[in-house]
Amino acid sequence: MTSGELITSIFSWGTLFADILIVVFVFCLLVRNRIADRAVSWVGRNVLALSFLFALSALVGSLLYSEFVGFEPCVLCWIARVFLYPQVIILGLAFWRKDKNIIPYVYALSVIGAIVTLYHSFTQLGGRSFTPCTAVGGACSKMYVLEFGYITIPMMAFTVFLMMILTFVAAKKQSKIVSLN
Q: Which residue has the higher pLDDT, 155 or 33?
A: 155
For 95-113, b where at least 16 C-beta lie within 10 A, e where not — what string?
beeeebebbeebbebbbeb
Percent above pLDDT 70 for the chain: 88
What confidence tens digit (pLDDT) does each residue in 63-115 have?
999 899 888 888 888 899 999 999 999 999 999 999 999 999 999 999 999 99
Least confident range of 4-8, 17-21, 90-94: 4-8
Distance from C-alpha of 13 to C-alpha of 19, rounded to nearest angstrom: 10
Q: Which of the residue ranges 75-79, 133-137, 140-144 has the most confident prediction, judged by mean pLDDT? A: 75-79
Those residues with Cβ within 8 angstroms of residue 118's Cβ, 6 or more apart along the chain or in another chain: 154, 158
Within 10 angstroms of residue 118's Cβ, the number of other Cβ atoms is: 15
**At residue 167, does pLDDT exceed 90?**
yes
Of 46-50, 100-104, 139-143, minimum mean pLDDT range: 139-143
Q: What pLDDT does residue 139 have?
A: 65
The b-or-e profile of 12-44 (16+ CB within 10 A means b, else e) is: bebbeebbeeeeebeebbeeeeeebbebbbebb
Structural domain harbouring 22? 3-180
> Considering Cα of 36, then 15, then 142, then 61, what sign does the dihedral take?
positive
- Position 137 scores a pLDDT of 45
What letter does residue 33 receive in the DSSP assignment?
S
Q: What is the pLDDT of residue 165?
A: 97
Q: Is residue 127 over pLDDT 80?
A: no
pTM of the model: 0.90
The residue that leads in pLDDT, 53 or 35, is 53
Among candidate residues 97, 7, 107, 10, the one with its CA nearest the CA of residue 51 = 107
Q: Tell me, what's the pLDDT at 125?
A: 78
Query: What is the count of structural domains for the chain?
Result: 1
